Every structure is written in C-alpha cells, then in structure tokens.
Copies of this chain bind each other. A is one copy, B any other.
Amino acid sequence: MSALAVDGGRLLADLDALSAIGRRGRGVERIAFGPDDVRAREWLAERLEEAGLEARIDGIGNVHGRWPSPRAVLAGSHVDSVARGGRLDGALGVVAALEAARALRAAGACDAGVGLDVVAFADEEGTFRGTLGSRAFCGEVDDDELAAAGDAAGRSLGDALAAAGWAGRPLERLDPARHVAYLELHIEQGPVLDRAGERLGVVTGIVGMRRFEVVFEGRADHAGTTPPQLRRDAGAAAVRYATAFLDAVARAGGPESVGNVGAVRLWPGAGNVVPERASVLVEYRDRAPERLRALDAAVEPLAAAAAAQARVEVAVTEVVRMAGVAMDPELVAALGRAAEACGAPARTMPSGAGHDAMVVGRHLPSGMLFAPSIGGRSHCEEEETDPADLVLAARTLATAIAAVADRAAHGAQEGGTACASS
C-alpha cells in the first residue's frame, strides 16, 4: 500500500473556515440544530458539491455527500459541538473525509464502482439525544423517541428541526447494498497518544459503559447530639460506597477498565446535620463484556453493604447502559497498513468515549483512526492537535479509504494497491 496524497494546506484551511462558524475563543460552540450548526452543515454541503459529490441535508440534519457510484465507503463524523467546545471534535473527521474525496477524485481513483460517501451526522453530542444522527441513519430511532426528544431548556426536537429548516425532509438511510464500510477519523480526546509521543491510533473497539445513580436514604439528626450508633447517616454511606466503588474498579477491572465518581450530593448539606439523603453518580467502562459484567455484579452489593453499615436504605438506578462494539478486524488492519504507508506506525487502542462509529459499527464493518489530543484536552477551547499530525491523520484516512474501496471493488486480495499513488 502506498500513501495517497492529500493537500495539507487545504485541509487546514477547511478546518479554519469551519472553526470560524460558531467560534468562541479558540474553540467553537455549534449546538445541534442551532444557527451555527445549520451554517456549518450548509458550508459543508457546498464544499461537498464542489468536490463532485451530490450533497444533501436530510430530515434529521445529517449531511450526506454521495459519490456518483453504485457502492461506496462511508467516512465522516459530526460538526455539532458541546457548549464551549473545541474546534476538532467531529470537525476533523468530516473535513478529512471531504479532503479524501478530493484526493481520490484528483487521483482519478475509485472508478471501479466503489466510491466515497462523506457524512456529517447530527447531534452526536446529545443536545437532544446522543448520536441521534447516526442512530437515525441506522434505523435505531423510532417515532416515539423523536416525539419525546427535547433539550435541557425543554425545546422539542421537532421545533429545533423546523427552525433549522430540515423538518419533513426524507431521511438518508444506511444501505447494505451500497455502503461497504464506515471509517471515522477523530481526535483521541484523551492523553494516551500525546503522553506516549505517538501520532496515530487505530481503535480496536469502543468500550461499553454503565452509569448508575445510587441514592441513600437515612435520617437527619443533630450531628453534635446524636451518638454514632444511633445515626442513620446517608452521607457516610455515600462516601464509603464511592470509595469502595473506586477500589473495586481498580481491583476487579482490567487494564482498560476506567471508573468515575462524577457527582456526590448530600442533603441538607449543613455541617451540623447528619445527612438524611445522599446520591452518588458512578460510571465505568471497559471494552471486554466479561469485565463489564464483573463490575455490574459488584455495584449493587457494594451499595447494599455501605447502606447496611450506616443503617440506611439504598436504591440503585441504571442511568446509561451502552454496549461496547468491536471495530472490524480487517479495517483495523487496513488502517494500520495505511498508517505504516504514511510513515507513522499506529498504536492499537480502545476508545473510551462513544462515537458515531460505535453506532454504525453495530450495522456495518467500521474502523476508527485517532489523532493525538495535546494534553488529552477535549470539550474545551484548549482542544488541539499539532497541524502536522492533523495532516498525517487525514492522509492515513484517505489512504485507508482508497485501499478499502479498492478491495471492495476488486475482491479481497491481500496487498492491493491504493487507488492512486502519491
């Protein structure tokens, strides 16, 4: 495999142009279906048309650029952001897929019937619903969910789509007869590559995740006059449970297990009142289903033990349950070969964060490529990647797309050349 040439200057210029839409400091704020998200998607549709793709924005806000071919590799990510987010999260994968389309066309490649469709999924960040666009594309969203979806301010998804001008448009859908694979380039949003001084990561799988709210109910008492043995201390139960949870993740989890105590609240929250109520928000992630199950089995007994020790009641509520998904082994291999062809061997690693590839990967062979996040920072204006690494990642993505399209067009012979040489 040889590397496909991409125009690094044009890639960075596109990123700059997209960053100008919704700019906040060094970052951006493009809330799903808001004016800047709409402008970003219209800007993208224009660029896709210029690149020779047939572009449209569908009824859920997904932007599709269709290659004039009967089959296609699908590549992209999203352009919406969190509030006060960074300029690369999602945007990099979309702009890199756009640049790959230009590079493939410039190389005269992909004439064998397998082209490149570029996609920017809607509301990946979950202003209304997490990974809404990719789930709708894959047929995972029903009318009930659409009708119920609203943002934190209580605005309905229907109103937001109408305001964006997209309500009532038809939905583009995943088409097994057309789409041969999904490839997504994304920033790592973590510190692993940056700390290791590595420039590319190939994702082996996206971790499964659980989030639980654990609520302890005891009795408020005067903290000076009530002896310890007469208390029903919900606060003590909460901090002891949170500590035991962290210990359990460290002890029972595997090398890729991560846990977090993200929130603790005690009521009434006064220094001299034994807390009558306390809540703890915990989550854990792992790529391996068996390790997730081991942690699943620990959550409730640990909560029950902490409650019993403090003589309080406890209720454990599952807030989020996401199954992990493995990336397609052949695409993992293809991305690894593309990285080597581009001169930078990639680390294979799990993704601790969810992405559109997690959704699409449930329906279509999928692969993900990571670019380093400087300092591991993301979802903030400090989110940044060395420009040389951005160009390297885009070149690797384009090279892999070319190889995957070529293999799909010509069969699965190992070692096929890319669509074009640089």
Contact A261 B246 (CB under 8 A): no
Contact B262 A225 (CB under 8 A): no
A261's partner among B224, B230, B236 (CB-CB below 8 A) is B236
A317 to chain B, nearest CB (A): 12
Within A216-272, the residues touching B (CB, 8 Å) are 221-228, 230, 233, 235-236, 238-240, 242-243, 246, 250, 258-266, 269-272
> How many copies of this chain?
2
Question: Which residues in B have their C-beta under 8 angstroms from that of A225?
Answer: 188-192, 351-353, 376, 378
A225 nearest in chain B by CB position: B190
- Tell me if A211 counts as interface (CB < 8 A to partner B): yes
Question: Which residues in B have their C-beta under 8 angstroms from that of A239?
Answer: 239, 242-243, 246, 261, 264
Complex: A209 Cα to B378 Cα, angstroms:
44
A244 nearest in chain B by CB position: B243
Complex: A209 Cα to B223 Cα, angstroms:
11
Stretch from A131-139, A169-177, A273-281, A325-333 contacting the other chain:
A273-281
Complex: A207 Cα to B222 Cα, angstroms:
14
- Tell me if A283 counts as interface (CB < 8 A to partner B): yes
- Tell me if A379 counts as interface (CB < 8 A to partner B): yes
Question: Which residues in B have their C-beta under 8 angstroms from that of A283?
Answer: 223, 271-272
A209's partner among B191, B195, B224, B320 (CB-CB below 8 A) is B224
Chain A residues with CB under 8 Å of chain B are 188-192, 195, 207, 209, 211, 221-228, 230, 233, 235-236, 238-240, 242-243, 246, 250, 258-266, 269-275, 278, 281-283, 285, 319-320, 351-354, 376, 378-379
